[in-house]
Structure 1
């Protein structure tokens, strides 16, 4: 297609075809194709033919999709090969999606063009030619842009872990001379901030403490920013900045294809003009001349979120800021719901900034129009926002609580930061980007071997990134690091599948990585687990992440903390305390029940019916039932402790007391099945009628004599029936056969309705 105008109809046709195909596939998968194969040989041949055709088309598509790439095309010969090569199919699809995403980014300029505050200006801006194509930071493969750091006058040395020495050559507006400022007080700590004395003693201009009408910003459509990429342009800009009372400053940083990162762009604005400075030039350290303005306490420097900007200015350009006002801390002091620059732009300027430009690769030259406008907008409106924030801070301040002083003090603390090189301790995992911090933030269950592999691979990735001057994510991302630690591959095939998709940097060093994994796996067999060094509860009950030393981290492997078991559970209390096991002779049914009761956090239970009634609030005494006459052959009566009874606790507050029933001594009492007693249940009408009928039946004398219990049949003494002769014909044989259901048929009423259970709780006791 020639333009984007023909894409919507194409997308609609494509979507319609995909939906129809999905429905067809869903219908086919719901059918029992194996059954239909057996019913028709013609259908079976047709299915085989279509399967072969689909596999052939799929293989052709996979080969076409991998043409010109490093991803191998899987070969699909039969249905079983689909499962065997499924990972390869997924890799091809992932590569296609990544390429499609990259093409869409290039077509749209990564992000839609940043619009000015007025909607009509956005439409006018869209009529300009499309921005140049450029990669984004999501591209973790080899950089398509030549590394600008290779052209710097001072080349990066990522292996240097000594304390960072400031790049300052001269010190404008000095209170303490440069030579004295660069004296290192402690070699282990490093150099102090050269402008520490000047920052602490700085006095802010008087207008900072008073309320005044906000100054309007210059119209966006009638002004533009000046792109500064020469030293002559820097000097011209410096002369104009010296006459300003306030300036706004912001930076754009890139840290994907550089181990430490690069300041790629610097934006500076006054009340009347904007500049965008290219900081990737070989002479970038010559920008120290801007300290004549940056270190001047009479000129207010406005930042937003300056925490990292101060570090980057020191590390790359040798710039320091005296007299700074951070609008982020002002938003915090005013308790704004959001503190981002995007929120402040929308609140005070009604400008909608698309912050997705933060993820762009700021090394691209020349800058596309959209990125240039976005960079300019960060400082173009910042001084106007400062005016509003200053007025609100003054309005909400009191004589005892000055919000202006609070913001200025916090801004000074930000300016007092000093850059320190990231030092990674491979033994303890401490330091910026160390494995200890990674595991603390991403809890994982690792065995001894897996823990050793994780540490070794983490160190290997860090060393490779330093050597190549790339971000560690360009070697492989963090989630791949965890996958390698869990899988612990010992052959190249498994390693590549675990690392998939494999980055070129790792692919070239795969054999070295494999040896590191094998060695770590062997050494880790006798080493500690992650949980052994993760946390150690102290005597005060506070858990510390590491054994603390004067520097705040373990000094050696012996100082690493070890995990311990807590003496008391915060949830169960002392219920789960371990007890001495009983000796074998002491084990019994009662002892087992007691042990089970003690092992579970159950409330105390009543042991008798009287205790159960008392617990339910029934004060009426139980009516003792007369003991039935026993014969010598009867078994002894079961102890009361072993009887099983159920107490039902109704959901409602009403409880029914047991009404004693007077019966004659000669009349036997109705049997209670399994000694189960229901307490507190209100009988229904049918139950009351049944009780009345049973009562009358009990009062009627029984004529039948009690039959003695039959003697149990002795199967051991009985004759075998396997070879028994047929019985002779007799009067007994002429009788009707025994019908076990005869009594069931001699009934006048149907089965009883099931008893309706009422809501409540039931407890069974022995």
Structure 2
């Protein structure tokens, strides 16, 4: 159809559908059964129209299924609509997906698979489009899988050790043939890192250790990057890279519609030029020729957060980094509050990266302008940022601790990583993508059956993702795993409701998934529970059998070796020499200022042993000569330095004794006098306390010997009587005495009234 006439056709179709919908809604609101009984002719006409509409609907469904694997239902009556409603919805979903794909092709987001448009796309790689492809869900891929065109297609079901893709080894110290021989690594037969020796023995260029003015970057607006999508373009770029002293490298990765993931773009920048390399070409492994630069220790490679970049380069392209500088470690050494590339761009360049493109589908070709510029900006400013960070690192370094060496060593450790294929451990759930870590971070109150179902559906998801070369989320996402384990559906209806909306990959295998759930419930009878599963070594550490039980330092069973939140920051570590000296000096200063006795290591250890153990250190020093005057005690308390306590004045009959006591109290310079007087005062105080106690006992005994005369006593309800020789004067009984002692209530707040004033007296 001509696009110019589509708008008029769309308006006519919409108005016709609207009229039919209004009429149907009006009829549905009336009593059709009443009209059927009132007129046989109307009833017959209504049945004919119903059959006609059902026949048209069946024909439309059949036309929509043409060229697909779907088989549409045949609608014969009203009940068949309810019975086959799910199939009708599937047809509508398929139509909407086709419409989305057509709109993407029309807007230029996805190129049509025709030679003419392929050439046009290569001629204009940065053609601007009204939108960019973004990963919003995990439905069917709207872009054809590029991995199907690779010369070496990825095999997600291969569990053998990963063999490096290297065909040659530039700048080698160890020959390639020797580097590709397997050996035992952590108890497993695997291939070693082919550039391990070269990375460990590499020396960074001298400019890395020298402060120099930063070299300004070229203006972003007035320059552009070269899009490299041919092998000849790669070779031309390589010749220019060999002349550079520093280069910046970054990658864009896609891991939704691929089990292992795909390196979709590689950005490379020098001081003068930027390149964006298409790494989805069938000849992508020919990019190994870049090892002539990447493995050259004389050319510095600057990356940011290269942990995953190193893995992806080995896995997909066979590229290795020798002489790498990671700006993430530089930001960590300088103590920046944030270490992301976005923060460094904002801090040093005042450039705000558009992070909307982080969720973009980098497989799209041609690249929209926004995505192209975003990819280029990751490396365009990185060499200038490196200059600034290098100068700061050198200036903040000391003779004892060099921060530039710290960054270089951390970068070497990143470059020494080896890629290993993820092997699924169904029994223990360990390894990348295993079920154990998923349950550990999202604990649930699972029964034995639910736990068995969770493990089974988790393994089913991994198997399907490997077979289809899709991400796990494209089968069903993480939260659906827990829903399946909790619900444990046993029929298709419950399964569809549990996994709604269900992905097409799972829909094709719905019956297989039901069989897996049923078998898991049967196997759970003899299976373990979640709480009975032993934790892996990286979560808990069991004590050694040779450790004696009496050893207090022995590890305790079930105790975490590292914290899930803090990591290993609380683990005791051996401090470096400058830090150890500083801590020792602080400890000595604290010991002198706060003389505390040594603490026992256990509760049962006697304090005398610690004092005795610390005594030999003091006895080794030669004895000092006796001083002429008594020295003040080394250890003192506030009580020792304070003045004499206040004492109560006691009567002294003998005047000479009074003068002697006064003289003794005034002689504060003599500690013996103060000590004697304090002992005498404590003795007098104890004597007075005993005399008071004896007097109180005598009074109690006298009262007990004189019996109370109840006949002569006045009644408590009568008026108070006069005191006699034997009976004291008694008060009259007041039943409201306790009530009068109750606390008074809160005062009533005086409210101000309008028109009145108050006068205060000063």
> TM-score of the superposition, structure 1-length normalised?
0.57
**Counterparts of 1:270-419 in structure 2 under 5 Å?**
270-419=270-419
Checking the alignment, whether the CA contact within 8 Å between 1:263 and 1:280 is kept in structure 2 is yes
Superposed displacement of residue 137, structure 1: 2.3
Superposed displacement of residue 159, structure 1: 1.2
For residue 450 of structure 1, what is the aligned residue in structure 2? Answer: 450
Deviations 1:379-426 (A, max 9, x none): 000000000000110111111111000000000000000100001110
Looking at structure 2, the residues matched to 95 and 282 of structure 1 have their Cα atoms a distance apart, in angstroms, of 30
Q: 2:172 aligns with which of 171, 174, 185?
A: 174
Checking the alignment, whether the CA contact within 8 Å between 1:296 and 1:322 is kept in structure 2 is yes
Distance 1:411 1:483, change over 3 A: same
For residue 254 of structure 2, what is the aligned residue in structure 1? Answer: 254
Looking at structure 2, the residues matched to 144 and 97 of structure 1 have their Cα atoms a distance apart, in angstroms, of 12
Checking the alignment, whether the CA contact within 8 Å between 1:151 and 1:282 is kept in structure 2 is yes
Looking at structure 1, the residues matched to 31 and 305 of structure 2 have their Cα atoms a distance apart, in angstroms, of 60
Checking the alignment, whether the CA contact within 8 Å between 2:213 and 2:387 is kept in structure 1 is yes
Partner-residue secondary structure (3-state), 1:514 = helix
Superposed displacement of residue 136, structure 1: 2.2
Distance 1:97 1:179, change over 3 A: same
Distance 1:284 1:504, change over 3 A: same
Distance 1:86 1:348, change over 3 A: farther
For residue 154 of structure 2, what is the aligned residue in structure 1? Answer: 156
Distance 1:276 1:490, change over 3 A: same
Looking at structure 2, the residues matched to 343 and 495 of structure 1 have their Cα atoms a distance apart, in angstroms, of 46
For residue 140 of structure 1, what is the aligned residue in structure 2? Answer: 138
**Counterparts of 1:654-693 in structure 2 under 5 Å?**
664=714, 691-692=736-737
Distance 1:693 1:287, change over 3 A: closer
**Counterparts of 1:301-700 in structure 2 under 5 Å?**
301-533=301-533, 535=535, 540-541=555-556, 543=558, 664=714, 691-692=736-737
Unaligned runs of 5+ in 2: 4-25, 33-52, 74-81, 110-125, 544-554, 562-699, 701-711, 719-732, 747-762
Looking at structure 1, the residues matched to 445 and 94 of structure 2 have their Cα atoms a distance apart, in angstroms, of 31
> Within the alignment, does 1:229 sit opposite 2:229 as a pair?
yes
**Counterparts of 1:735-750 in structure 2 under 5 Å?**
none
Checking the alignment, whether the CA contact within 8 Å between 2:257 and 2:471 is kept in structure 1 is yes
Superposed displacement of residue 189, structure 1: 4.2
Tell me which moved more, 519-528 or 533-542: 533-542
Checking the alignment, whether the CA contact within 8 Å between 1:106 and 1:134 is kept in structure 2 is no
Checking the alignment, whether the CA contact within 8 Å between 1:264 and 1:278 is kept in structure 2 is yes
Superposed displacement of residue 360, structure 1: 0.6
Deviations 1:40-91 (A, max 9, x none): xxxxxx9x96999xxxxxxx9xx9xx99899x99xxxxxxxx9x99999x99
Deviations 1:716-756 (A, max 9, x none): xxxxxxxxxxxxxxxxxxxxxxxxxxxxxxxxxxxxx9997
Distance 1:129 1:165, change over 3 A: closer
Checking the alignment, whether the CA contact within 8 Å between 1:106 and 1:133 is kept in structure 2 is no
**Counterparts of 1:116-131 in structure 2 under 5 Å?**
131=129
Checking the alignment, whether the CA contact within 8 Å between 1:457 and 1:516 is kept in structure 2 is yes
Checking the alignment, whether the CA contact within 8 Å between 1:107 and 1:133 is kept in structure 2 is no
Checking the alignment, whether the CA contact within 8 Å between 2:204 and 2:297 is kept in structure 1 is yes
Looking at structure 1, the residues matched to 331 and 382 of structure 2 have their Cα atoms a distance apart, in angstroms, of 13
Checking the alignment, whether the CA contact within 8 Å between 2:541 and 2:560 is kept in structure 1 is no
Looking at structure 1, the residues matched to 384 and 99 of structure 2 have their Cα atoms a distance apart, in angstroms, of 41
Runs of 4+ in 1 over 6 A off after TM superposition: 66-70, 84-88, 90-110, 753-757
Checking the alignment, whether the CA contact within 8 Å between 2:127 and 2:369 is kept in structure 1 is no
Checking the alignment, whether the CA contact within 8 Å between 2:127 and 2:366 is kept in structure 1 is no
Deviations 1:273-320 (A, max 9, x none): 000000111111110000000000000000000000000000000000
Looking at structure 2, the residues matched to 230 and 321 of structure 1 have their Cα atoms a distance apart, in angstroms, of 23
Checking the alignment, whether the CA contact within 8 Å between 1:534 and 1:545 is kept in structure 2 is no
For residue 706 of structure 1, what is the aligned residue in structure 2? Answer: none
Partner-residue secondary structure (3-state), 1:525 = coil
Distance 1:92 1:153, change over 3 A: closer
Partner-residue secondary structure (3-state), 1:543 = coil
Superposed displacement of residue 147, structure 1: 0.8
Looking at structure 1, the residues matched to 321 and 30 of structure 2 have their Cα atoms a distance apart, in angstroms, of 72
Looking at structure 2, the residues matched to 309 and 544 of structure 1 have their Cα atoms a distance apart, in angstroms, of 35
Superposed displacement of residue 500, structure 1: 0.5
Distance 1:389 1:692, change over 3 A: closer
Would you tell me which structure has more helix in proportion to its own residues?
A: 2
Superposed displacement of residue 544, structure 1: 5.8
Checking the alignment, whether the CA contact within 8 Å between 1:91 and 1:501 is kept in structure 2 is no
Distance 1:440 1:86, change over 3 A: farther
Partner-residue secondary structure (3-state), 2:511 = helix
Looking at structure 1, the residues matched to 492 and 523 of structure 2 have their Cα atoms a distance apart, in angstroms, of 20
Looking at structure 2, the residues matched to 51 and 129 of structure 1 have their Cα atoms a distance apart, in angstroms, of 60
**Count of equivalent residues:** 487
Checking the alignment, whether the CA contact within 8 Å between 1:137 and 1:359 is kept in structure 2 is yes
